Amino acid sequence: MCDRHLMPLSMAAPGDTVELVEIRGGRRFRQRLADLGLNTGTSVRVIQNDHTGPLILAVKHDARLALGQGAAHRIQILPIHHTSKQDEPPGRGIQHEQFNHCARRQSQCRQKHHL
């Protein structure tokens, strides 16, 4: 059931809600992102990603961040949920719950590996 794999945020599609699982890079970089609301374990909604310019993310629901492709490439994510029409409410439906569950399991998995 859990066939979702980690992938870089730079590959996420607009409409995806994804969980940030791992952020690669120096301490400075990771802390900077955390200050702006991009910490591991957070889920963000991808508003725009054309794979060439910066992404636009909905962070902590209400903030809109522009994030360069380079930085996005260093963030590993698990997709949780996708809404093709963005005004469709998220967090509804079984599918979402499954993905969510799945994401949590995988990130726990990964953490155990870390130990």
Partner 1 sequence: MSSLTIALAGNPNVGKSTIFNGLTGARQHVGNWPGKTVEKKEGVAQIRGKEIVVVDLPGTYSLTAYSIEEIIARDFIVNERPSVVVSVVDAANLERNLYLVAQLIELNVPVIVALNMSDLAKTRGLKIDPAALSMRLGGIPVIETVGNRGLGLTELKDAIAQVVENPAAAAPVLLDYGRPLEGKIKALEAIITTNTALRKKYNARWLAVKLLENDEGIIEALQAAGQSALLKEAEMVIEELEAVTGEDTETLIADRRYALIGEVIGGVLERPRAAVETQSDKIDRIVTHRIWGVPIFLLLMWVVFQFTANVSAPFLDWVDMLINETIMGWAFSLTGALGLGGTWIEALLTDGIIAGVGAVLVFVPVLMFLYFALAVLEDSGYMARAAFVMDRVMRAIGLHGKSFLPMIVGFGCTVPAVYATRTLENEDDRKLTGFLATFMSCGARLPVYVVFGAAFFGANAGNLTFAMYILGIVIALITGFVMKRVVYQSKPPAPFVMELPPYRVPTARGVFTQMWERSSSFLRKAGTVILAASIVLWLLLAIPLGADAAAPDGRDAGFNNVRAEDSVFGTLSGAIAPVFAPAGFGSWEAAGSLVTGFIAKEVVIGTMGQIYVDEAEAAPTDEAVAAGEEVEEEPGTTFGEDVGNIIVSFGEAAVLTVQETINIIPRTVNIIPGVEMPEADFLGGEEEEDTTELEAALTAAFTASAGSEQAGKLAALAFNVFVLLYVPCMVAVAAMRQEFGARWMWYQIAYTTALAWLAAVIVYQGGKLVGLG
- Is 71 a binding residue for partner 1 by CB under 8 A? The answer is yes
Nearer to partner 1, 2 or 53 (CB): 53
Minimum distance, C-beta of residue 81 to partner 1, in the bound complex (Å):
10
What one-letter code names the amino acid at 96?
A: H
- Is 62 a binding residue for partner 1 by CB under 8 A? The answer is yes
What one-letter code names the amino acid at 25?
A: G
DSSP string, 59-115: ETTTEEEEE-HHHHHTEEEEEEEE-SSTTSPTT-SHHHHHHHHHHHHHHHHHHHHH-
Please report the sign of the dihedral spanned by the C-alpha atoms of residue 55, residue 4, residue 77, residue 11: negative
- Is 18 a binding residue for partner 1 by CB under 8 A? The answer is no
Among 5, 52, 84, 94, binds partner 1 (CB under 8 A): 52
Contacts to partner 1 by CB under 8 A: 25, 27-42, 45, 47-48, 50, 52-54, 56, 58-68, 70-71, 74, 83, 86-91, 111, 114-115
